[in-house]
Amino acid sequence: MPEIKELVKQLADKHGRNRESLLPILQGIISEERYISDFAMTEVARELDMSAALVYGTATFYSFLDTEPRGKYVIRLCRTITCDMKGKKQILRTIEDLLKIEIGETTKDKKFTLLETNCLGWCHKGPAMLINDDAYTELTPEKVSEIIGDYMKNR
């Protein structure tokens, strides 16, 4: 996996090799790879001359630093109470039907991963979800079909 090695090195050159560089480097890996493998963590530990257990601790602390392989587009549907009361369940069912996967799973073509997340701060416009870094709010089954359909066709 020389690419990861190279990526980690580039990120370290950019963000530095101190303890406080750890988070931006891990975020950099996520935006390239969608997840941080054990190999990537080992490389980060080596580049920053720190313990791999500490890298692992940081990676597992933040929900958005995934440590398992993810699809190109990670859908995170809010599961917290406001969105739940505003109809999150139907949204979830619609996505599951469209992509033929359940929460925690990735489509066969590795394009989508479906996850739940805690409150996104869009409660006033729930139900809300993220696809990678973009927020989608006031979702209805129709609206979410349209959004996902667009990702399926055009990206």
State both tokens at 24: 């931006």
State both tokens at 71: 């699809």
The region of 35-43, 102-110, 132-140, 144-152 touching other proteins under the rule CB under 8 A is: 35-43
Considering beta carbons, is residue 54 or 135 the nearer one to ligand FES?
A: 135
Considering beta carbons, is residue 62 or 110 the nearer one to other proteins?
A: 62
The label of the residue with tokens 């101190």 reads 18
Residue 45 as a binder of other proteins (CB under 8 A): the answer is: yes
SS3 116: strand
State both tokens at 140: 């209805």
Binders of ligand FES in range 75-134 (CB under 6 A):
78, 80, 82-83, 119-123, 126, 128
Q: Which of other proteins, ligand FES, none interacts with 52 (beta carbon under 5 to 8 A by kind)?
A: other proteins
Query: Which segments of the chain does DSSP mark as H helices, in order?
Result: 2-15, 22-33, 38-48, 52-61, 81-85, 88-99, 141-154
Binding interface with ligand FES (CB under 6 A): 78, 80, 82-83, 119-123, 126, 128
